[in-house]
Amino acid sequence: MSDGPRFPRTGTGTGTGTEELEHQKAAITRLGHELRALVEATVRTDASPDTLHRVADGVRTVTGRLTGRRRARGEIPEVDEFPAGPRFYSPVTGAGSPLAPPMRVMAADDGLIGECTLAGTHEGPPGYVHGGVSAMLLDELMGRACAAAGTPGLTVSLQMRYHRPVLLETPLRIIARVTGTDGRKIFVNGSITSRTAAPDASLVTAEGVFVTPDPDSTRALFPGLQRVMARELRG
Ligand SMILES: CCCCC/C=C\C/C=C\C/C=C\C/C=C\CCCC(=O)SCCNC(=O)CCNC(=O)[C@H](O)C(C)(C)COP(=O)(O)OP(=O)(O)OC[C@H]1O[C@@H](n2cnc3c(N)ncnc32)[C@H](O)[C@@H]1OP(=O)(O)O
């Protein structure tokens, strides 16, 4: 995607070499993929209690292998390109997140396009996407559209309209477009459509207001961002 020009791209500075970072990203992506398959299998299975107990024991053992240093709250992973680029553990787009569909994000003429297909993990009404998950997809893409337009912001208001249920196991297109700004406020529209059935009919639409925090708030809210910028400047 094309990102706004005013943010550092992390993962290219000092610390870990580029090749090592690429290996790290590939491994994170692979584990994310396997975990998403595990989560989907978990919510779809009708295995016996015995099997479920054995799997739970196995998962507990595997979890125990992910020891060592844990990132502190707010610490931005070196593989990330915060705030405008990919975040590996985003619950929406993160290749490493077992919660993320993950949604792929591309630049469009006047905003961003996201694509994903959801399944049992994100079910709300039987056979359909959970409404909160639709809001999550739109919130993320609309927030990224702000950053891509060079005006990053946090959501202060997100008004959702659910026109038709969103089918599971159907390729979806999510669109986000900045429609205007007023001081630190950024106005954004978004929609979800099916890429196959009636692609012109919006299933969900959203109107959002995002606000760019002032510099003092930004420093207070995101101390990790200062470290990323310092890391980048050293590099
Ligand atoms: C180098 C700079 C980097 C800056 C980084 C900033 C953001 C970057 C973050 C991520 C970007 C990257 C990717 C994004 C992808 C995914 C994220 C998805 C989105 C989210 O997951 S994000 C989490 C949920 N989100 C929050 O956690 C916000 C909680 N919130 C606050 O932390 C404060 O709210 C804050 C600091 C944002 C503003 O606080 P504040 O004190 O500076 O601003 P204030 O209240 O003065 O409002 C200013 C003007 O907005 C108007 N206004 C306020 N509320 C309104 C509303 N509801 N409707 C309509 N207008 C509203 C006022 O009326 C006034 O308008 P006016 O100036 O015309 O009077």
**Averaged pLDDT of the chain:** 91
Q: How far is the C-alpha of 106 from the C-alpha of 15, rounded, in Å?
A: 29
Average pLDDT over residues 13-21: 75
Average pLDDT over residues 180-197: 97
Q: Does residue 1 register a pLDDT over 50?
A: no
- Higher confidence at residue 84 or residue 216? 216
Q: How far away, in angstroms, is 29 Cα from ligand 1 center?
A: 31
Per-residue pLDDT tens over the stretch 108-124:
999 999 999 999 999 99
Q: Does residue 4 register a pLDDT over 50?
A: no
Average pLDDT over residues 3-28: 66
Q: How far away, in angstroms, is 93 Cα from ligand 1 center?
A: 21
Q: How far away, in angstroms, is 59 Cα from ligand 1 center?
A: 39
> Does residue 218's CB lie within 6 angstroms of at least one atom of ligand 1?
yes
Q: Would you give the distance in Å from CA 123 to the centre of its chain?
A: 18
The token pair at 62 is: 């595997």
Structurally, how many domains does the chain consist of? 1
From 208, 165, 172, select the one nearest 192 (Cα to Cα): 172
Taking the whole predicted model, whether its pTM rises above 0.90 is answered as yes
| C-alpha dihedral, 159 to 163 to 169 to 170, nearest 10° | -100
Per-residue pLDDT tens over the stretch 134-166:
999 999 999 999 999 999 999 999 999 999 999
What ipTM was predicted for this assembly?
A: 0.95
163: domain range?
1-235
Per-residue pLDDT tens over the stretch 71-91:
999 999 999 987 777 899 999
Residue closest by Cα to atom 11 of ligand 1: 83
> Does residue 209's CB lie within 6 angstroms of at least one atom of ligand 1?
yes
Percent of the chain with pLDDT over 90: 81
Pocket test for ligand 1, best of 139, 146, 156, 209 (most atoms within 8 A of CB): 156
Q: Does residue 10 register a pLDDT over 50?
A: no
Residue pair 85/9 in contact (Cβ under 8 Å)? The answer is yes
CATH number at residue 20: 3.10.129.10
